[in-house]
Amino acid sequence: MDPTKVPEGIDPKSACRIEITVNSYFTMRDGRKEYNWGRLVKLIVDSEEYSIIDLEKDIASEFKWASDQQANFWILTEGSLTCKLVSDAQFLDLLRASRVVKLLMIVGRQENNVRG
């Protein structure tokens, strides 16, 4: 990655670009149904310091959803969904393995007490 494009405070050797395709979705806000247009969000992060919680916070600053909804991230490989992003260890492996990580974010119903 070009060191001039890496934000201050991130080591260029561990910098990684994340491209998140956010799917359009409906949500309820203040008692009314609201449509949120999807779009591509690009972030440059430190692969050694970034976690799923950080990803969720960065996305939540741009997109809002209801309390009964959650953001689900899926890994994109060559344009196809491969698997759901479920752990920081999995995310760290992705960030370390590639300088560009592509994800799809789908907002859906919150799943409570799901056993795997």
Picking from 57, 28, 27, the residue whose alpha carbon sits closest to that of residue 41 is 57
Whether the per-residue pLDDT at 114 is higher than 70: the answer is no
Whether the per-residue pLDDT at 115 is higher than 70: the answer is no
**Strand-strand pairing, 39-46 and 69-77:** unpaired
How confident is the model at residue 29, as a pLDDT?
Answer: 81
What is the arrangement of strands in the sheet containing 15-22, beginning at the earlier edge strand?
39-46, 15-22, 100-109, 69-77, 80-84
Name the fold adopted by 12-109.
Answer: Ubiquitin-like (UB roll) (3.10.20)
For the chain, give every domain's residue range: 12-109
Q: The pTM is what?
A: 0.84
Whether the per-residue pLDDT at 3 is higher than 80: the answer is no
How confident is the model at residue 30, as a pLDDT?
Answer: 82
pLDDT tens digits, one per residue of 41-93: 999 999 999 999 999 999 999 898 888 899 999 999 887 778 999 999 999 99
Q: Residue 75 — φ and ψ, nearest 5°?
A: -85, 130
pLDDT tens digits, one per residue of 4-39: 678 888 888 889 999 999 999 898 888 889 898 999
How confident is the model at residue 84, as a pLDDT?
Answer: 94
